[in-house]
């Protein structure tokens, strides 16, 4: 049995707080603003984070913990986002959903065997430890994107 990585668990917990803090710094009128047509708004980034957390990471973590070597299907995040994103959905609801999914993941990961594996459709065998690290990395990627949008928006207004 591979024990949980306490550093990764701390990162996963901290990201929910960091995201809440970052959103609190963003003016409400700027949530749908895009720095360029091909880039996402803060609202889109947060929606994506929430959706991937609930539809992909929480599902995969749960299956790897509870099933023996489950098959983990490919998830087309771009198609899902295109079909499900609603610009009218309140940002606080999206954030609350993300925080709840992340708390559920951390709760599962705290006592799990991080050497358990699943078989991803395109990556092949992946361990629970790899999945936890990947989840943290994905969140940092989009958190930094949200931060860049906020800072860029502030310089354009100032």
In a domain, 79, yes or no: yes
CATH of the domain at 25: 1.20.120.450
At 35, phi and psi to the nearest 5?
-70, -20
Q: Which residues contact 124 (CB under 8 A, 6 or more apart)?
A: none
Q: Which residues contact 52 (CB under 8 A, 6 or more apart)?
A: 75, 77, 138
Mean pLDDT of 130-143: 97
Considering only 2-16, 33-47, 50-64, 111-125, which range has the smallest mean pLDDT? 33-47
In a domain, 143, yes or no: yes
Average pLDDT, the chain: 94
Q: Determine the length of the chain.
A: 158
Q: Which domain holds residue 21?
A: 6-157
In whole angstroms, give the CA distance from residue 28 to residue 91: 9
In a domain, 17, yes or no: yes
Report how many domains make up the chain: 1
In whole angstroms, give the CA distance from residue 108 to residue 94: 21
Q: Which two tokens stand for residue 34?
A: 């895009």
Identify each DSSP E strand in 8-154 by its residue range.
71-72, 117-120, 124-127
In a domain, 1, yes or no: no
Q: Which residues contact 26 (CB under 8 A, 6 or more apart)?
A: 42, 146, 149, 150, 153
**Contact between residue 145 and residue 22 where contact means Cβ atoms under 8 Å apart:** no
pTM (2 d.p.): 0.93
Q: How confident is the model at residue 12 (pLDDT cuts 50, 70, 90)?
A: very high
In a domain, 67, yes or no: yes
Q: How confident is the model at residue 126 (pLDDT cuts 50, 70, 90)?
A: very high
In a domain, 85, yes or no: yes
In a domain, 66, yes or no: yes
């Amino acid at each position: 049995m591979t024990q949980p990585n306490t550093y990764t668990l701390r990162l996963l917990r901290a990201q929910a707080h960091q995201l809440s803090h970052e959103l609190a710094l963003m003016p409400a009128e700027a949530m749908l603003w895009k720095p360029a047509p091909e880039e996402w708004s803060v609202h889109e980034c947060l929606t994506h984070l929430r959706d991937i957390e609930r539809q992909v990471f929480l599902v995969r973590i749960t299956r790897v913990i509870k099933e023996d070597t489950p098959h983990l299907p490919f998830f087309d995040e771009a198609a899902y986002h295109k079909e499900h994103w609603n610009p009218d959905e309140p940002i606080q609801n999206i954030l609350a959903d993300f925080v709840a999914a992340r708390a559920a993941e951390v709760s599962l990961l705290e006592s799990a065997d991080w050497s358990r594996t699943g078989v991803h459709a395109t990556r092949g065998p992946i361990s629970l430890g790899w999945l936890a690290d990947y989840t943290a990395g994905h969140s940092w990627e989009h958190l930094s994107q949200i931060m860049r949008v906020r800072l860029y928006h502030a310089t354009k207004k100032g």
